[in-house]
Structure 1
Amino acid sequence: MNLVEKEGFSSEPSEDDFLIREVVLTHDPDGRYLDSELLLQAVEDVLCSTATADSYFQVSDPYDDATIIEVVGSEESLEQIIYKVSSEMLLKCCGDSDLHTKTMVLLQMLGKYTWDAKAVIILAALAMTCGDCWLIKQLYPYNYFAASAGMLKQFPSDLNLLGIQFKALSMLANTMVELAKCVIKYERLPMKEVHLDYNTMALTKTQIYVATYRIFKGSLEFSAQTTDFVAMNQEKCMISQTTTIAAWGLSYMVPRLRRLCNDLLKQVDSCHDQTETKQYKELSEIFSKPHNDNQEVFQMLFALKDEIPLKDCSSQAQVNIFELEEKVVLILVSTPEVLPVDQIHFLEQRTHNHHYHKKIGRNYEIVWVPFPTSDTWTILQKRNFNILSKSLPCLCIRKPWLLNSAVLKFIRQEWNYKKQYPLMVALDSQGMVSHYNAMDMVFIWGAKAFPFSTSKEKELWGEQSWSLKLLLDGVDPLLMKRVEEGSNICLYGGDDLYWTKEFTSRLDEIRAAGLNFEVIKIDDKSPSVYDPHKLIQSKKFWLRLGSMKRSILCAENTAPNHRVLKEVLWLLEMNNTSKSWVLIGNKNSEDVLKLQEMEAIECLDLFPVWKEYVGRMGLVRAIKTAFQPNLSGGP
């Protein structure tokens, strides 16, 4: 069976089928890949921009992202391909052959590419051929250099004389770009994995072939007319009827292309909806049954449109999904901006740099899945992603804009992802969800929480008791060292500067008397009056407390009497209300003294009473002994 028969045409074609047959016979793809969507964004900025005096003075980044667009599987670079097509386009514009023949020659040149790549490459060649004239027209009223360039090209001094032609060309360019977007949307559908309704597919494919042909033909028309009026002098432009007639011809072509675009968009949307519905159902079924390994799961999640969908952020090496086999995988879902810097650092500290990480080896991986903030990835978002993806200690999706819409919908609905809050879904070695958000586990216990399941979370809380070690683990290495050594620790916080001054002055008196213990202020709102060098990373401290609160409630469902939860809620309440507070304790002891505001001042005022008992009772018990009436409800 030949290609034409495969595409579903009848053995006795009608006159309308003949063109489609001819177009299909030029199509012989060999697997090469081009990020056509990213290239089209650059083309659109050239052909469809509308410059103004204000926009001219806006400063923007140069198009450094053009360097990341490559043709995978081709010996020629993208620049070489576009140059060859643009040269052929200019040659055909000057030749005598009819427009259809010229169009077929160009289609034949790009026969090895997918339909969307063909459409975008011809538009890129058009932008390369005519873009300078187009930009001169846009900028010449506001830009001296554009006016000078127009003079060198012998444009009329008054480009408004070409207003009809430019308006017609602008309408044509915009319509061809929209048509190309429809072709891209169709080609991004995972047709190999999902079989759609035959009639819908047959009609859509037919329109894809026609749309591609019309984009090629329209590009030749655009190029020919631009070449014509560039060659004119002012006098010919004023009296010529030829260009005006040609402009009206383009104006007649545009409505036809728009109807084709609208019809194609309806068909592509129908295919997209069918595909998304079927894939969503498949994803739901995959996650509802056990597997021998996790490969089928990750094939559906990440590899529908990219055979090597992952990369190592540190080395930028490409990674296949088979490297996740037999591993626990933490899927970090977030916006392209990932997490705040302090949270990124904390995540790295609790996983890759955690002392327990060496014991586990490579039994788990973190895979970052950047989630788009809108339906379309912009060049700026892709640039941000490429920068940020080099700073994480994990794997990430290599081209997240290729993720299937059904996958994005599944993550939003089944995993309850909301773009304001990052999500870390844990999948076991069989690809089954073992925790719908293990982020808090990671922030609390780090790699020790492996395999990051809900059962492991309950187990860890069952073993956990309230202590300064639990409160400070991972927050500050030097402070944790003091805790491990058994030093007495005093943590305090609050926004009341008067209280802080009173409290620290009494601490100075106590330390001058020979009682030595570490005093740390936890606050990023104002500097510590007592010792600014002991101001620890309070954001990590409060991040850890918030994680502990959520994790306990998740592991215990509801646990109002849980000792750790009670203490955590007290501290969070102190912080939320900006009240002053104090915690005093040491090492693993659950005997942690908590005081607020004037209670703490009164406690230190009783130093002459309780200092005698510190040696044999310990600091906390000595204070409690002297301060017991107040703690039990006295004045």
Structure 2
Amino acid sequence: MYGLYGGEDIGWIRKFTMVVKTVAQAEGISLEMLYVGKSNLKENVGRNICTITVDGLSHTMQEMEFISLFWARLESMWHSKMKYCKSIENDWIVQEIDAIHEERVMEAYQNLIRLMESPHDDNMNTLRALIYAKNNKRVLVAGSTRKRVKLDVLRRKIVLLLISDLEVSEEELFGLKKIYQESHQNPTRTESQYEVVWMPVVDVRTTPWTEEKQQQFEALQGMMPWYFVYKPSMLAPQVIRYIKEVWRFNKKPVVVALDQQGKSVNKNALHMILIWGSLAFPFTRDREEALWREDSWRIELVADTLHPAIPTWIEEKKHICLYGGGDIEWIRKFTLTAKAVAEDAGIPLEMLYVGKSGPRKILRNIALEKLGSYALQDLNHINFFWTRLESMWHSKLAFNSTIESDVIMQQVLTILSFDGGEQGWAEISNGSEIVARARGETILRVLGDYDMWKEYVNQEGFTTALNDRLKYHLYEHPNLNSMIISRPIFYPTIRETVVCAECGLEMEAH
């Protein structure tokens, strides 16, 4: 009778071989044992082979190449069976191979957990455990040069691991790509001292690697200016399991931040990066919490990434109007009315369309008819505006903030509710301070009735007069349950009704 076994713990190997020999002898069984252990660290297996041989614990494969061949043959048998559509349930060979593989993965997974929780002098042990770099091969590709490089290029650097499957879209990458390229324009800045590595999660054992998937993989590589693994198989099964179970990856892209010693300091820094850009450096949870303490609901937080002129408008104390909606007739009336009121009131007004309801056609009409001050032609910037709002929501939720107690969550929810359909909406700031927001029908009616409250502009100022009139209008025309917000996937904790930040009334969520 023959028995195969493996493992890295030499203490366990001693106990196991002794117990098995004792049982075999008691039962009168002739048993020969062969050690076929495997590890990402070649020296560990070599050390075990030497100890087993010297102490006479069992037979071993004297050459590492034979052990590698053993595991390679098992993998080939698996893929051959799967190629001919053999299921695990109906094929005992596949079952045996799968059982051996699962035991090996479990052991490697436990070792990976211990390694990730241990202190290190630099980040190389962590990175080599996460990205299989046998014989120090060039397992990364530099996005800037498209040349293969070794993991050593990341030594003692803060590393952001971009983790996704192959379904990630160009829109999802836009914000991170924009921030990465801007921060690396001046590589001497402290905020530039980090690198991004894309780790595509594809379990090649269970998902056939087709030509279509290869093309999909290469297309995503072409969008990325940062490092990425040479091929998805560089991520071992235990690493994929760690990513899913410890870092909670589940289809939506995440960015795990590792410090210079390879310690995970943020399981998902993506939202803070999209919100604050390079200010998020060094991407720790503590830094994210500190940024929220320092920030407030102001136009810089909401829209400073939309247009390069916004910082200048803020500095010059201009009124900035962000508006949206899919009804071009409302947009025509609103922009013309707002411009006329601003001219009569003597206030500088800049208008920027950021609606997500059919924006391509709307943007074309705005540009052709010159309805607003500026019309963004790149839809990615508009998508990024909404993505950042969603990131604010997710980031706040991660710190257990609630709608009832957090002003920013209330404001984010209100804006997200505005553009749920064709109806228009507007938010107006005076310099940095956001001073008014309303739905399309409300803001258009109040501005249309400007002659009724313009006398208060000279007495109280435009901002105060506008706000007072909006409050009066909402008081005279209470919406109560007519203000309905859609409940997207990222609102798992939202109540059936929430208080509207626009008027203080309850909105129904559905």
Q: Given the two structures, how large is their TM-score scaled by the length of structure 2?
A: 0.68
Cα distance per residue 1:80-127 (max 9 Å; x no partner)? xxxxxxxxxxxxxxxxxxxxxxxxxxxxxxxxxxxxxxxxxxxxxxxx
CA distance in 1, matches of 2:249, 2:227: 20
CA distance in 2, matches of 1:207, 1:287: 25
The residue number in structure 2 matching 1:607 is 450
The residue number in structure 1 matching 2:267 is 436
The residue number in structure 2 matching 1:629 is 472
Comparing 388-397 and 453-462, the one that deviates more: 388-397
Identity of aligned residues (%): 27
Compared CA separation, residues 336 and 187, structure 1 to 2 (3 A): farther
Residues 1:405 and 2:234 aligned together? no
CA distance in 2, matches of 1:611, 1:306: 77
The residue number in structure 1 matching 2:159 is 329
Compared CA separation, residues 188 and 314, structure 1 to 2 (3 A): farther
Between Structure 1 and Structure 2, the one with more helix by share is: 1
Kept after mapping to 2: 8 A contact 1:449/1:456: yes
Kept after mapping to 2: 8 A contact 1:331/1:366: yes
Q: What code does the residue aligned with 2:162 have? A: L
Q: What code does the residue aligned with 1:407 have? A: V
Residues 1:192 and 2:42 aligned together? yes
Cα distance per residue 1:344-385 (max 9 Å; x no partner)? 232122222148875225521111011227534323323332
The residue number in structure 2 matching 1:364 is 194
CA distance in 2, matches of 1:442, 1:557: 19
Kept after mapping to 2: 8 A contact 1:491/1:521: yes
CA distance in 1, matches of 2:333, 2:119: 62
**Residues 472-491 of structure 1: matches in 2 within 5 Å?**
472-491=303-322
CA distance in 1, matches of 2:461, 2:253: 43
Q: Which residue of 416, 421, 424 maps to 1:572? A: 416
Displacement of 1:201: 8.0
The residue number in structure 1 matching 2:104 is 275
The residue number in structure 1 matching 2:440 is 597
Compared CA separation, residues 290 and 577, structure 1 to 2 (3 A): farther
Compared CA separation, residues 628 and 403, structure 1 to 2 (3 A): closer
Comparing 557-566 and 294-303, the one that deviates more: 557-566
The residue number in structure 1 matching 2:215 is 383
Kept after mapping to 2: 8 A contact 1:309/1:321: yes
Residues 1:290 and 2:133 aligned together? no
- Tell me, what secondary structure is at the counterpart of 1:351? helix
The residue number in structure 2 matching 1:520 is 352
Kept after mapping to 2: 8 A contact 1:326/1:429: yes
Displacement of 1:306: 6.1
Cα distance per residue 1:149-188 (max 9 Å; x no partner)? xxxxxxxxxxxxxxxxxxxxxxxxxxxxxxxxxxxxx999
- Tell me, what secondary structure is at the counterpart of 1:594? strand
Compared CA separation, residues 201 and 594, structure 1 to 2 (3 A): farther
Compared CA separation, residues 509 and 483, structure 1 to 2 (3 A): same
The residue number in structure 1 matching 2:390 is 546
Kept after mapping to 1: 8 A contact 2:318/2:347: no
Cα distance per residue 1:59-90 (max 9 Å; x no partner)? xxxxxxxxxxxxxxxxxxxxxxxxxxxxxxxx
The residue number in structure 2 matching 1:454 is 285
CA distance in 1, matches of 2:287, 2:319: 32
Which consecutive residues of structure 2, in runs of 5 or more, have no partner in the other structure?
6-35, 53-57, 77-90, 479-510
The residue number in structure 2 matching 1:254 is none
Q: What code does the residue aligned with 2:275 have? A: I
Residues 1:353 and 2:185 aligned together? no
Compared CA separation, residues 368 and 193, structure 1 to 2 (3 A): farther
Q: RMSD over aligned Cα, in angstroms?
A: 3.7
Compared CA separation, residues 565 and 193, structure 1 to 2 (3 A): farther
CA distance in 1, matches of 2:415, 2:245: 34
Kept after mapping to 2: 8 A contact 1:444/1:548: yes
Kept after mapping to 2: 8 A contact 1:351/1:357: no
Q: Which of the two has higher C-alpha Rg?
A: 1
Q: What code does the residue aligned with 1:380 have? A: E
Q: What code does the residue aligned with 1:352 have? A: Q
Kept after mapping to 2: 8 A contact 1:553/1:559: no
Q: What code does the residue aligned with 2:226 have? A: C
The residue number in structure 1 matching 2:494 is none
Compared CA separation, residues 507 and 275, structure 1 to 2 (3 A): same
CA distance in 1, matches of 2:396, 2:343: 41
Compared CA separation, residues 521 and 207, structure 1 to 2 (3 A): closer
- Tell me, what secondary structure is at the counterpart of 1:350? helix
Compared CA separation, residues 191 and 595, structure 1 to 2 (3 A): closer
Q: What code does the residue aligned with 2:102 have? A: D
CA distance in 2, matches of 1:445, 1:412: 26
Displacement of 1:388: 3.0
- Tell me, what secondary structure is at the counterpart of 2:341? helix
Kept after mapping to 2: 8 A contact 1:493/1:582: yes
CA distance in 2, matches of 1:432, 1:553: 24
- Tell me, what secondary structure is at the counterpart of 1:561? coil
Kept after mapping to 2: 8 A contact 1:351/1:442: no
Compared CA separation, residues 549 and 361, structure 1 to 2 (3 A): closer
Kept after mapping to 2: 8 A contact 1:584/1:620: no
Q: What code does the residue aligned with 1:408 have? A: I
CA distance in 1, matches of 2:412, 2:227: 33
- Tell me, what secondary structure is at the counterpart of 1:566? helix
Which consecutive residues of structure 1, in runs of 5 or more, have no partner in the other structure?
1-6, 9-185, 216-261
- Tell me, what secondary structure is at the counterpart of 1:348? helix
CA distance in 2, matches of 1:359, 1:611: 50
Kept after mapping to 1: 8 A contact 2:321/2:352: yes
Displacement of 1:618: 4.9
Residues 1:563 and 2:392 aligned together? no
Cα distance per residue 1:414-459 (max 9 Å; x no partner)? 111112x111111112212111111111110011101111111110
Kept after mapping to 1: 8 A contact 2:191/2:279: no
Cα distance per residue 1:251-275 (max 9 Å; x no partner)? xxxxxxxxxxx88756654542232
Kept after mapping to 1: 8 A contact 2:325/2:421: no
Q: Which residue of 130, 133, 139 maps to 1:301? A: 130
Displacement of 1:461: 0.4
Displacement of 1:462: 0.4
CA distance in 2, matches of 1:194, 1:622: 76
Q: What code does the residue aligned with 2:202 have? A: P
Cα distance per residue 1:571-590 (max 9 Å; x no partner)? 1112235442210113322x
Compared CA separation, residues 206 and 360, structure 1 to 2 (3 A): closer
Displacement of 1:616: 7.7
Displacement of 1:490: 1.1
Compared CA separation, residues 627 and 316, structure 1 to 2 (3 A): closer
- Tell me, what secondary structure is at the counterpart of 2:283? coil
